[in-house]
Amino acid sequence: MKIAILSRNAKLYSTKRLVEATKAKGHEPIVLDHLKCVIELEKKNPRIFYNGSYITDVDAVIPRIGASVTYYGTAVVRQFEMMKAFSVVESQALVRSRDKLRSLQILTRAGVGLPKTVFTNFAKEVDHVVDSVGGAPIILKLLEGTQGLGVVLAETQNAATSVLEAFNGLKARVIAQEFIKESGGADIRAFVVDGNVVGAMKRQGKEGEFRSNLHRGGSASIIELSDQEELTALKATRAMGLGVAGVDMLQSSSGPMVLEVNSSPGLEGIEAATKKDIAKEIIKYIERNV
């Protein structure tokens, strides 16, 4: 099989591991920078032009699409789907996952546990917003933020209302969310491939940091999920329609609560923590479907 890995940088850990796993299973990998793909549309003849020639005979696509280029990256994935290539993450599911508010609405409808969440369109009733999520401390997240950027912990009522008013003044769209104190600055990342949890890790924020992102100095260790945590991860992934996903959850006194379902989860942290070949699991998923 010819497997296209859509990535801006062939030297990234996740991209290199996917190339290695593809070769190890006897397939041909090609790495394509999706922003350099030219999309050509013609009746019954969708094509992609790349670096001087047309891309042909691609059997499957592994999208590694950054949040900042979701629009064009998704269009490239959609074009490959029109060319009858199998995508481990479907274009529509990718779009859904990148819209934080839409994804939380989908998870709510599916009955997945979530922290109390409020979104407003620059409403002036900031005190009501804070009270609706249980009062201070609360978490405030920019809709466009990634990797822990644009996330603020407001520890008092005054701080929460001040930050909300500031964001409103900047016309920045913000989600207000309940602070789960008992999680202790840690969260769980469950890596799901084709309806199965293939690895899980617990990420702990560094001392004094409420965000557990590895990019922000957090540490990761292997964890065995409880039955409820595993079911929650699978339910969330299914609701989002994703073949491959990283489900981020908090451990709370009322059960697991989903923070986010990531459609392009990195491999470095999860493979290091679990010592599992996650890249191989993704290639096996393709083999089962192509």
Question: In a structure prediction context, what are the per-residue pLDDT tens digits for the chain, which is 290 residues long?
Answer: 999 999 999 999 999 999 999 999 999 999 999 999 999 999 999 999 999 999 999 999 999 999 889 999 999 999 999 999 999 999 999 999 999 889 999 999 999 999 999 998 777 788 999 999 999 999 998 876 555 567 888 999 999 999 888 888 888 888 899 999 888 888 999 999 999 999 999 998 766 555 555 555 567 899 999 999 999 999 999 999 999 999 999 999 999 999 999 999 999 999 999 999 999 999 999 999 99
Q: Do domains 117-179 and 182-289 have the same CATH topology?
A: no
Name the class of domain 182-289.
Answer: alpha beta
What's the angle, vertex CA 66, arms to CA 23 and CA 106, rounded to 5?
105
| CATH 3.30.1490.20 correct for 117-179 | yes
Q: Where are the domains of the chain?
A: 2-96, 117-179, 182-289
- Two structure tokens written together for 228: 């409820």
pTM: 0.90
**How far is residue 217's CA from residue 160's CA, in Å, rounded to a whole number?**
25
Dihedral, 94, 243, 14, 106 alpha carbons, nearest 10:
40
Check residue 111 and give left, alpha or beta (phi > 0: left; psi -120 to 50: alpha): left
- Report helix, strand and coil shares of the chain as percent, to nearest 5: 35, 30, 35
Domain spanning 2-96 has what CATH number? Answer: 3.40.50.20
